[in-house]
Structure formats: C-alpha cells, structure tokens
Chain A
Amino acid sequence: MNFLILNGNPPGKGKKIDEYIERLAGAIKNARHDVEVLILRDMKINPCLGCFDCWVKTPGLCSIKDDAREVAKNYIASDHVIFCSPLIMGFVSSLLKNAMDRNLPLIHPHLEDLDGEIHHKKRYDKYPVISFLLEKESCTDDEDMAIATEIFRRQAINVRTTLGFVRLTQSPVEEVLRAIDVH
C-alpha cells in the first residue's frame, strides 16, 4: 500500500509529533509499505480563495501556483493518508486545514444523493482512506476529541472515502500500526 503522511505541525510547536511521525513512517516502511512524508511547514500552501476556478475554469486544477498541487497529486496517488497535527484550540492546525481545503479540485462540483444526504460527486475513481494522528493540548478533553472526530468522519464522507483511525501521539507507534492493518 501507498501511504502519505502530511505533517501539519506548525513552526514553534515543539518537535514531539515530528519525532513520532518519523518513528511511525519507519514502522510503516518496515511493514513493507511505501510511505511519503510531506512536512507542510516547509512548503508554500496558501489558503483556498473560494474562487471555484478548479471546478468551473480549469476542472481539477487549482489556479493558485504553490505547493498545494504537489500535496493533491500525492494524495490522490495514495491508498491511505495520515493527517498529523497538534490540536490547537481544539482542532487541527491551520497549516493542515489550509492543505485540506486546497484539495477541493479532487472532487467534482456536481451534487448527488449519497445515502439520503447531498454530497459532491467523485472526480477520481478511488480516494485514499484518511486517518488522523493528533497531539493533545493541555486542555484537551473527551468532548474535544468527540467534536473533532465527528468532523473528521464528515470530512471523510465529503472527500468520498472512509475514516481510518483517529489516534493520539500518546499511543505507542505499534498501536497505530495495528490500526492501519485493519484497513
């Protein structure tokens, strides 16, 4: 399987999650999968402008010239994407969220009835499973985890895939690896 790990740890938030990601990527490699790690803070990823050029002018391509296209290209070529971020004010970093927003060209503007709710049509045949590796902040509680996890579940539906795992960096790497094996 092809794994893509998006490291959404912003500058100045400490190195703990970076080290965890390195160990996780190593463990995934040892399990004989391909893994690519993109460190978002070292890339240029502007926020989505909501212009919809990627839907109505150049279908499938964003009009902003920066590194988000490389992220989208790697994303659609993967079987499983692991979004990684410290929780900041109860949600993933803006660095990671901007990268997620910029994947809009991967889906189609047309809507359809998906199990009784309206969602966007697929542009590609196959989308990677998405998972989340998060680092707790000092105030993170069960409610924060429930709120974030429900949003991730919704995001998976809207990017036409399923939610793999949601884990904290407190879990041993082996446990995350086991969670991956399930999918």
Chain B
Amino acid sequence: MQLTFINGSPRPAKSNTGRLMEHFIRGFLETAGNTCQTEFLARHRKNLDALAENFASSENVIIGFPLYVDAMPGSVKEFIEALEPLSGSKQLPALGFVIQCGFPETAHLRFVERYCAKLTRRLGCRPLGCILKGGCEGLDVQPDFLTAKYYLAFQAIGLHFGKTGIFDETLLKKLAHPENLKAENMLQIIPFINQGLWDAQMEKNGALNKSFDRPLIP
C-alpha cells in the first residue's frame, strides 16, 4: 500500500502533528511492501498545483493539521482550494485526516471533522475518516507517561491501517478520549497548562509581567 502524508502544520520542523504521525507511519510501515512519502505543506506554498498532482496520483492520502480557530489553518485551506479542479475526477486517492488541538477535550475537533467528511465526498475520494487527538500542545514538555500513550495509540492505528486500509473505529474512539472533561478534571488540568506550559515559557522570555498586556487597545 502506498501512502502520502501531507503535513499541514505551519511548523514543518517541530510540529506536534508530525510528531504524532511519525508513530502512525512507523506502524504503517510494519507491513511489508508499504511505502510512505511525507510532504510538508509549508514547503509547497509557492506551488500548490504540484502538490495537488502528487495528491491525485497517490493511492492513499492523509492530510494532517492543528486546529486553528476551530477549523483548518488558512494555509491548509489554500491547499484545499488547489484541490478544487480535481473534484469528481476518476481514481482519486482514499483520503483521511489527522487533526490535533491543544484543548484537552476532543469535542473541539468534531466540527472540523464534519467539514472534512463533506470535503472528502465533495472531492469524490473514498473516505478513511479522521484521527482526532486533543491535549497536544507542547508535546515535548508533557510527561513521558502521557506522550508514550498517545504515540503507542498512533502506532496501533497506523499498523491496523497498514494491514487493512482502514482506520479502526475502536482505536480512534480510544484515542479520542476524553471527549469532554468533568469539572474536577478541569481544575487539575488548567493550572498544569497555564503555569506549567504558558507561564514557564513567558518567564523564560522575560515576558511574564506582560502576560495580560493589551497593546492594541484603541
């Protein structure tokens, strides 16, 4: 099976999307004969038509991106617009998505998921579905026991996909947990992210005292 992974993260070198997909691809490649090619959308911005051609000639495509204001980043939308002329063509690839967000709840991703499902039908691609994962901001500073869990789940989904050509519903559901958080869980998680992730970075940059600045006030 052949797979093209289009990494739509605006941070090609250090993307959380790419970090997760590394493990998916590792699982995918465990099946003999499978091949995978990764393309970084940010490096194709000047010539999206070439990437669209690459898309059209692939057997399977997964487009990955972080959630930006409840949808795809503008740069991913540019690529979707470049795919418009392909709509309804014969022999388009099977199409899936991997979408992650910093919010801990997967519920935030369900709206863009519906968009992606409709987009897949609009193009006329065989749908693979969406791999959704919340809680992904700062994967490099999260404790290993958490990230190891995510990475293993991605590897398992990739392994299953590599063998069968489908995303396993049970594995997707497990990965998507928690869909929502209970109040007591929020009380634990929020300070962990606010202080542990954001304040720590502001402090490192000497910007903590400016945290709530309003420089654009009229």
Please provide the chain B residues from 148 to 192 with a CB less than 8 Å away from any CB of chain A in the complex.
180-181, 183, 186-187, 189-190
**Residues of chain B with a CB closer than 8 A to A76's CB:** 216-218
**Binary interface encoding of chain A residues 150-182 relative to chain B, with 1 for a CB under 8 A from any of its CBs, else 0:** 110011001100000000000000000000000
Q: Give the 9 A-B CB pairs with smallest separation, nearest first.
A: A98-B74, A94-B77, A97-B74, A56-B201, A77-B218, A47-B75, A154-B70, A94-B78, A109-B198
**Bound-complex Cα distance A93 to B212 (A):** 31
How far apart are the CA atoms of A147 and B142 in the complex, in Å? Answer: 33
Q: A159–B68 Cα gap in the complex (Å)?
A: 12
Chain A residues within an 8 Å CB radius of B218: 73, 76-77
**B205 touches which one: A57, A89, A104, A119 (CB < 8 A)?**
A57
- Please determine whether A59 and B202 come into contact, CB atoms closer than 8 angstroms: yes
Q: Cβ of A49 < 8 Å from any Cβ of B?
A: yes
Closest chain A residue, CB of each to CB of B117: A147
Q: List 5 A-B contacts (CB under 8 A).
A: A59-B211, A89-B83, A94-B77, A117-B105, A147-B115
Per-position contact with B for A130-153: 1 when CB-CB < 8 Å, else 0?
000000000100011001101100
List A residues at the B interface (Cβ < 8 Å). Answer: 47-52, 55-61, 69, 72-73, 76-77, 88-101, 103-106, 108-113, 116-119, 123-124, 139, 143-144, 147-148, 150-151, 154-155, 158-159
Residue B90 CB within 8 A of the other chain: no
Give chain B residues whose Cβ lies under 8 Å from the Cβ of A106. Answer: 216
Count A-B contacts at CB 8 Å.
165
Give the distance in Å from the alpha carbon of A147 to the alpha carbon of B108 in the complex. Answer: 14
A118 touches B103 (CB 8 A): yes
What is the CA–CA distance of A112 and B74 in the complex, to the nearest angstrom? 26
